[in-house]
Chain A
Amino acid sequence: MAAVVTAAKLALFETMLKTPTLADMLNLTPSDFEQFVAHVFRSAGYTVKVVAGQHFPYGPGVDLELYPSPGAKKPIARVEIKRYAADNRVGYEEVKGFNGILNHGEPLPGYFVTTSDFHPNARTFAADTNGRLRLLDGRQFLRYITYIRGSRVAQPDGTHRTATLTPPDWICTELTARQCDPRRTTVLTVANGRGGIGKTTSALNLAVALTQRGLRVLLVDLDGQASLSSALPLPDQNSKPPKNAPPPERQRYITDYFSGRCHTLVDLVQPTRIHNLWLIPANEELYRMDSGGSARVFEELAFVTAIHDATVRPLAGDRHDEPFDWIILDTPPAQSHYTRVALAAAHYVLVPVRGEAFGVLGINKVLSQAATMRALVGSGVRVTGCLITWWKNTKSARDVLPKLQSALDARDIKLYAHAIPYEDRIEQAHLSMVGGGIRTIFGFGSNEAAARYKDVLSELIQEVRPHVNEPGT
């Protein structure tokens, strides 16, 4: 008979979901660990029956049965669970035995979950089952938990789970997105869960500062507000077309990729009026297409592959046959599919934050989302640090700053040494650019904000890749 899950145990499982460790799992009894694994699969959208006590041939002979919905009569997968210490690997005989049960009667796919690892013979055996038997070792199970925990949404019955079934197959098969070497193209995502924090301003000014170092940069606007796209008019937007000219092609946006009208990003890359700076623009259709912050594993991985594709390069200009030096992704302020894909695609993440209580609150969400997307991809998505923007030396800012510093220290995240001050010239530059000009803050002579963005860029480059991609290296 399955053990009853008390409210206290559920609270413990939720805590373990938040900060999963193998040590905590090994501290559970075998029965509680089965319940915990069941809790994880429930969070992934499954209806789960714990059948550990029903031994073969009188019962299914496995630990869990997974159903697609509460009313479903037939399971769609079975799960075997072994809570083993790290040095006690699951062997060939155990995996073979589970496979035999899966093949009994109507064959079903199965997941073998353990806190330790699998013997190479067991892995070889599982690889020959045509994907029916999937192995999830301790490290992979931690990744799965982290991804599921950050992809759950509240349900009408008060539980939290992913909106659709999210099986761990992509982790079991190590299906990862193709990522390029950050030394070839560095992908930076600028993100914070709050609006008005300086994400677009920071993305734009860091991109312009990079072009001033002779580097070629692609900005990708993933915000339906399209502020970045408005700020960077394309070269011919303000010029009159000649008489008898053919009608211009329809403007292309990042929405063309997400709607499936365009399968690669290279066709969306457009030059801007700033030398060495290219843009994939957005429009407000992005908002209408947004599916929110739930799990969409394959679409997320596909976007990562699309961004890192070597064919994403300038279509003209100097060295147009080479990939970009940097790709910077600007994100929307809300919980969004686009924030998730932008984080998943990032080698590095920069978190702008205002030195005020409300400004700081958005950090938790973006750090949690970054961890979720790192679990999806399995690498990258490193938060380089938080950048104070709109800095004003007020009492409240002075109160918040050391608290923020301590909290970031606790998470081993850097606070950039230079802050971007509040300065009217930032707004003047925006007005100039929205009006069709190309006057960035670097075109306003000497000003504090421009100088600090250059300082931050130096810090960023030192942080992310000190040896590569600088002209002359």
Chain B
Amino acid sequence: MSTSLAHKPLTFAQRAAAATQRVAEQQQLTDLKRLAAALAELAAEEVQRNPGFAVRLRGLYEDLAPQTKVATGRATKTAKAPAKPLTPIKRIEGFEIDPSAPLDPYFQLEIYGAEQLEAALRRHTKANLHEAAEIVQDRHPGTSPAGTSKDALLAYIIAHVRT
């Protein structure tokens, strides 16, 4: 895994399966397990005979190395990231960043608009969403979320912030 804030990279098994699939489609072969074995054996022979291939192999091997490193390391796990990047619809000059302030759903609505509001809120942790729900409750006394799950909090916030 890579410390990427944008996307989750493939595991080794997924990479191997994807490469085999590419060759299978190109060569119109159907038995993927047999093809994987054939590819590995041929690659082993090619390394013996073709130094250029060996250099390319070592290069790719090095490139893939950090992924195994990170997978076992506690400190470098991949950050959870939004499924797709959000596009701000408004620029606010002079806005100050306060990481300790509660999550303000009305600010999120202003920045991302109603269509992206759910995606924008979903990036936040449940603790942040609880703070956001409290802000909504202040503006809509007598209302409350239907439950304490993330989905219930999101549904409550979105329903009231959009109105």
Contacts and interface: CB of A to CB of B under 8 A. Distances in A.
A392 to B, nearest CB: 5
Contacts, number: 125
Interface string A353-364: 000110011011
B112 A416 contact: no
Interface stretch (A162-170, A281-289, A404-412): A404-412
Interface in B45-94: 62-63, 65-66, 69-70, 73, 75-80, 82, 86, 88, 90-94
A84 interface: no
Contact of A404 (B7, B96, B97): B97
A39 to B, nearest CB: 17
Given A401-B79, A406-B108, A409-B86, A361 B2 contact: no
Contacts of A273: none
A417 to B, nearest CB: 4
Given A417-B5, A419-B79, A423-B76, A410 B65 contact: no
A313 B15 CA distance: 45
Interface in A390-429: 391-393, 395, 397-412, 415-423
A417 B76 CA distance: 15
Contacts of B93: 19, 21, 411
Contacts of B7: 417
Contacts of A237: none
A412 B91 contact: yes
A452 interface: yes
Contacts of B127: 399
B75 A360 contact: no
A185 B31 CA distance: 55
Contacts of B94: 18-19
B69 A405 contact: no
B95 A395 contact: no
A448 B91 CA distance: 34
A388 interface: yes
Interface residues of A, number: 46
Given A403-B103, A451-B2, A408 B97 contact: yes
Nearest to A393: B77
Nearest to A396: B99
A448 B70 contact: yes
Interface stretch (B22-30, B117-125, B136-144, B145-153): B117-125
Most chain B Cβ neighbours within 10 Å, of A391, A415, A421, A445: A421
Given A411-B92, A451-B66, A417 B6 contact: yes
B79 A391 contact: yes
Contacts of A406: 107-108, 111-112, 120
Interface of B is mostly: loop
Contact of B90 (A392, A410, A423): A410
B3 interface: yes
Contacts of A395: 125
Nearest to A363: B97
Interface in B11-37: none
Contacts of A408: 97
Contacts of A399: 124-125, 127-128
A130 interface: no
Contact of A410 (B82, B88, B101, B125): B88
Interface string A282-316: 00000000000000000000000000000000000
B97 A407 contact: yes
B44 to A, nearest CB: 23
B126 to A, nearest CB: 10
Contacts of B62: 446
A252 B56 CA distance: 45
B75 to A, nearest CB: 5
A391 B91 CA distance: 27
B2 A410 contact: no
A451 B3 CA distance: 9
A398 B95 contact: no
Contacts of B2: 418, 448, 451-452, 455
B69 A446 contact: yes
A401 B97 contact: no
A448 B76 contact: yes
A100 to B, nearest CB: 39
Contacts of B91: 410-412
Contact of A398 (B73, B79, B100): B79
Most chain B Cβ neighbours within 10 Å, of A408, A409, A446: A409
B140 to A, nearest CB: 22
Contacts of A364: 96-97
B7 to A, nearest CB: 8
B78 A402 contact: no
Interface in A6-55: 18-19, 21
Contact of A391 (B76, B82, B125): B76
10 contacts: A19-B94, A388-B5, A392-B75, A406-B107, A417-B6, A418-B3, A421-B75, A422-B75, A423-B76, A448-B3
Interface of B: 2-7, 62-63, 65-66, 69-70, 73, 75-80, 82, 86, 88, 90-101, 103, 107-108, 111-112, 120, 123-125, 127-128
Given A18-B94, A407-B98, A417-B7, 8 more contacts: A361-B99, A398-B79, A400-B99, A410-B95, A411-B91, A411-B92, A419-B79, A452-B2
Q: 3 closest pairs, A vs B, by CB?
A: A446-B65, A417-B6, A421-B76
Interface of A: 18-19, 21, 356-357, 360-361, 363-364, 388, 391-393, 395, 397-412, 415-423, 445-448, 451-452, 455
